[in-house]
Amino acid sequence: MNSLKTYIRNNDPELLRSLRNFKKKIINPIVVFFSDINLNIRFFFRGRKGFSSVPCLVPFMRLEFQKFGNVSACCTAFTKVKSVGNMKSQTIEQIWNGKKLRRFRKQLLLGQTCKVCMPNCGYLKIGPIFLKDICTDTPEGESLYNDVSHGRVKLNSHPLRFNLANFTVCNLTCVMCQSRAVEAQNNSIPEHVTKTLKNLSNYFDKKITLYLSGNGEVLARKDTRELLQNFDSKKNSKVDFQIITNGLLFQPRMWETIKHNNFTYVNISIDAATKETYKKVRRGGNWEQLMKALEVFKKAREEGKFSSVNINMTVMKSNFKEIPQFVEMARANGFNSLFTRIRGPFEDENIFESNNEKDIQELKKVLSNPNLYGEDVDMNDIRDYVPKEFHKIMGNHLTSIWYPSFLLKMPEKG
């Protein structure tokens, strides 16, 4: 079979194109049709017993706007369903209860995570979400509870979180960044981004979180910078902002123009505890400028402008030995620290996928230091390398951001 494919590929590109078209237009829809029937039958019988838990709630509460107008229900590193719609041709409302997202939810309710989730998904690591843990004393929690417990995949609830990862303009070119700022030189706002923001404004009277941003840099992007500067936080008082940033542009004058907003959480990605490592990993960054920005965050936190300030290290070969220093740096400023493993094909840096046992052993040694642990430190997805006795005393800042406390009583740490 393979040699036939190779033969056709090498000798008859026209035939190859027709076969691909046939597969895309005829075979794939037939497969989807029959697997939908199968899914619906199983869902019908399972649903009659009622649902008491779901492996993950994300596709029931969140939308993520990606590059080129694509929309996903979850972080694309965590899910196999890379797109549930596109803002170029659809609206948020059409996507939220559209066929693709309804199917995704159905598969989750049936526990078929292997079909829709990546095995290393951080949400799955939290463990199943029991419906009894949803806080029904908020209207948002009650609505979500009603939808999930009734096995609804067409939801009455609206999205509660929107991640604006749809424009990759950035001021840095970090060594491990996959969202590499292809549009860095071109800061004119794409049409789908403008359309998304306009559609999003329909939700500004609701309790929603705007999460800026999973791609690019929030203050280097013209759209998100202007959103923050022009946002009417008095009129839209239920909206809160969570920010993930390299921090550099949060300088005093800029901060004055955006500080009127209701920020809850900020994550500052630093990836180093020394100037040398910072320069190597955060290419284009400036350590002194970063230190000035940290002062802005520190003061803002002391004034109660953020409920939580985290500094983040994407753990890789160049920086893992600096983990203890990083925790100290966070503590000296009154911040939490968060550690997340590097993902993707960065052979030199990705110690988790390069099968280099020596680096992993060294990492385990670094992580065996008891001084590292406390509520202020979240080892997130490198916790597999942390001795078990420290798991109970670690914080879980990231997961409490993913599932805010007004919505969910956090599952036990383990």
Amino acid at site 407: L
Residues at the site binding ligand SAM, with contacts judged by CB under 6 A: 170, 176-179, 213-215, 217, 244-246, 269, 271, 312, 314, 340, 342-344
Q: Which spans in 179-261 are helix H?
A: 191-200, 222-230, 252-258
Q: Return the number of the residue (172 or 239) whose C-beta is nearest ligand SF4.
A: 172
Choose from ligand SAM, ligand SF4, none: what does 343 bind? Cβ within 5-8 Å by kind: ligand SAM
Q: What DSSP character marks residue 400?
A: H
Q: Shortest distance, CB of residue 174 to ligand SF4, whole angstroms?
A: 3
Q: What is the CA radius of gyration of the chain?
A: 23
Name the one residue in this structure whose structure tokens are 């609830």. 157
Choose from ligand SAM, ligand SF4, none: what does 309 bind? Cβ within 5-8 Å by kind: none
Q: Return the number of the residue (145 or 167) whose C-beta is nearest ligand SAM.
A: 167
> In angstroms, rounded to a whole number, what is the distance separating the alpha carbons of residues 245 and 266?
8
Q: Return the number of the residue (113 or 215) whose C-beta is nearest ligand SF4.
A: 215
Choose from ligand SF4, ligand SAM, none: what does 244 bind? Cβ within 5-8 Å by kind: ligand SAM
Q: Shortest distance, CB of residue 183 to ligand SF4, whole angstroms?
A: 11
Q: What DSSP character marks residue 250?
A: -
Choose from ligand SAM, ligand SF4, none: what does 50 bind? Cβ within 5-8 Å by kind: none
Residues at the site binding ligand SF4, with contacts judged by CB under 6 A: 170, 172-174, 177, 179, 181, 216-217, 246, 269
Sequence-distant (≥ 6) Cβ neighbours of residue 68 within 8 angstroms = 86, 88, 192
Q: Return the number of the residue (61 or 273) whose C-beta is nearest ligand SF4.
A: 273
Peptide bond just before 213 cis, omega within 30 deg:
yes
Q: Shortest distance, CB of residue 116 to ligand SF4, whole angstroms?
A: 26
Q: What DSSP character marks residue 321?
A: G
DSSP track, 119-184: TT-HHHHH-PEEGGGB-TTSHHHHHHHHHHHTT-SS-SSPPSEEEE------S---TT-TT--TTT
Q: Shortest distance, CB of residue 317 to ligand SAM, whole angstroms?
A: 12
Peptide bond just before 35 cis, omega within 30 deg:
no
Choose among 327, 277, 338, 269: nearest CA to 297: 269
Q: Which spans in 252-322 are helix H?
A: 252-258, 275-281, 287-302
Q: Return the number of the residue (92 or 170) whose C-beta is nearest ligand SF4.
A: 170
Choose from ligand SAM, ligand SF4, none: what does 173 bind? Cβ within 5-8 Å by kind: ligand SF4
Q: What DSSP character marks residue 258?
A: H
Q: What is the longest distance spanned by two Cα atoms in the chain?
A: 69
Q: Shortest distance, CB of residue 312 to ligand SF4, whole angstroms?
A: 10
Q: Return the number of the residue (269 or 350) whose C-beta is nearest ligand SF4.
A: 269
Q: Shortest distance, CB of residue 208 to ligand SAM, whole angstroms?
A: 20
Q: Return the number of the residue (19 or 175) whose C-beta is nearest ligand SF4.
A: 175
Q: Return the number of the residue (190 or 216) whose C-beta is nearest ligand SF4.
A: 216
Q: Shortest distance, CB of residue 283 to ligand SAM, whole angstroms?
A: 12
Choose from ligand SAM, ligand SF4, none: what does 66 bind? Cβ within 5-8 Å by kind: none
Q: Shortest distance, CB of residue 145 to ligand SAM, whole angstroms?
A: 31
Amino acid at site 56: C
